[in-house]
């Protein structure tokens, strides 16, 4: 099994085999919490206009997403796990758009399979990939706004890669230290309304969920994310 770590939209576009599109802060952490809150599926889209159009098609749906980290005008929720865990999304379809993560899903056009990546289900991702046993795995760290390397995404990629190789990796201290580096923004009082400190801790709860979210490309070019229990 060849494992590569790549970044950004270009990395997603060039991904082969199983592509794991990683967005820890916060898109694919939010997706996991939304499924845990009862959502039947998630539709990921890269454009705000597409999200509003999908909302018209799916009556029992909610809009979740961000631009510049903040909730989009007219959306039900921002891209915040703190918001999502307070809600009962039973039976609802979540329509999700973000700056980095959902763009990565849309861009992964050359991979055989695509799943989302986050710290909260990293162990399940490792088990799923081992069960498929592909020749090639592309771990795509989407980064901050899909243009700057993000320590949390690269750390998640490293955790998954080490797990696939059955190698020990002392990740606990590295995860905790994120609050002094890429996670510092969650502790800035100016950001509390849209990126509260609780988001940091919810995003870094290693192996909280025992499922993966597998992507299927829709007829309209958007992505359905469905839960696969591991």
| DSSP string across 32-89 | HHHHHTT-SEEEE-S-HHHHHHHHHH-SSEEEEEEETTEEPTT-SB-S-HHHHTTS--
Cβ(12)–Cβ(102) below 8 Å: no
**CA dist., res. 205 & res. 169, Å (int):** 16
**CA dist., res. 101 & res. 70, Å (int):** 15
Cα-based distances in Å from 36 to 33, 44, 88, 99? 5, 17, 9, 23
Confidence of residue 203 (pLDDT cuts 50, 70, 90): very high
Closest among 34, 44, 36 to 84, alpha carbons compared: 34
Q: What is the pLDDT of residue 179?
A: 96
pLDDT digits (tens, 9 = 90+) for 19-42: 999 999 999 999 999 999 999 999
For each of the domains in the chain, give its residue range(s) and CATH number, in order of start. Answer: 2-229 (3.90.1560.10)
Can you give the pTM of this predicted structure?
0.97
pLDDT digits (tens, 9 = 90+) for 52-110: 999 999 999 999 999 999 999 999 999 999 999 999 999 999 999 999 999 999 999 99
Q: What is the pLDDT of residue 118?
A: 98
């Amino acid at each position: 099994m060849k494992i590569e770590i790549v970044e950004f939209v270009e990395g997603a576009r060039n991904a082969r085999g199983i592509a794991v599109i990683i967005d820890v802060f916060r898109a694919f952490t939010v997706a996991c919490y939304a499924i845990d809150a009862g959502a039947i599926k998630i539709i990921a889209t890269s454009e705000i206009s597409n999200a509003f159009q999908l909302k018209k098609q799916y009556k029992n749906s909610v809009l979740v997403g961000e631009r510049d980290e903040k909730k989009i005008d007219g959306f039900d929720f921002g891209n915040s796990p703190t918001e999502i865990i307070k809600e009962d999304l039973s039976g609802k379809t979540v329509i999700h758009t973000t700056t980095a993560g959902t763009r990565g899903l849309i861009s992964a056009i050359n991979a055989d399979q695509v799943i989302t990546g986050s710290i909260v289900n990293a162990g399940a991702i490792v088990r799923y990939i081992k069960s498929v046993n592909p020749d090639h795995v592309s771990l795509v760290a989407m980064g901050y706004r899909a243009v700057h390397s993000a320590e949390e995404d690269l750390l998640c990629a490293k955790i998954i890669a080490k797990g696939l190789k059955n190698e020990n990796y002392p990740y606990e201290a590295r995860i905790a230290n994120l609050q002094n580096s890429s996670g510092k923004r969650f502790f800035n009082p100016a950001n509390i309304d849209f990126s509260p400190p609780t988001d940091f801790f919810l995003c870094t709860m290693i192996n909280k969920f025992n499922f993966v979210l597998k992507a299927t490309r829709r007829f309209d070019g958007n992505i359905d994310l469905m839960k696969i229990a591991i």
